[in-house]
Copies of this chain bind each other. A is one copy, B any other.
Amino acid sequence: MSGASGKEVCDAHESPSEDPARFHPDVVERAASVFRALGDTARLVLLERLAVRELCVSDLAELSGEGLSTVSQRLRTLRAEGLVRRRRSGKHVYYTLADDHVAGLIRNALEHASEEVG
């Protein structure tokens, strides 16, 4: 390791003169963070349900058969990435997908995946 100052080109191999990474690290990190939030089955199911209609935490908890705390944590993660929005109505807190772009992304991803699984 270390050293590596004189890196010669191999026969039929040009060294990568240009560095193709053009987006700022912050941007890539941000995008990765969103993908990470989407990269969990339970959270994806939440989004899938919210893509149909607005639902409150109790509903989502009941549908998935899990505790309020668990669902709330998942929603927290999704909200931190700007994927869902919340709204108060009396004692209930209703969640929805943040915008149509998110809805399209979810639908697109699931349809694409359903083709591959067959």
Contact = CB atoms under 8 A, between A and B. Distances in A.
Contact of A7 (B12, B28, B43, B62): B62
A5 interface: no
A110 B13 contact: no
B27 A49 contact: no
Assembly stoichiometry (copies): 2
Contacts of A6: none
Contacts of A11: 90
Interface in A51-69: 51-53, 55-56, 58-59, 62-63
Interface string A17-59: 0011111111111111111111111011100110111011011
Contacts of A91: 10
B41 A39 contact: no
A106 to B, nearest CB: 9
Given A16-B59, A27-B114, A27-B117, A109 B39 contact: no
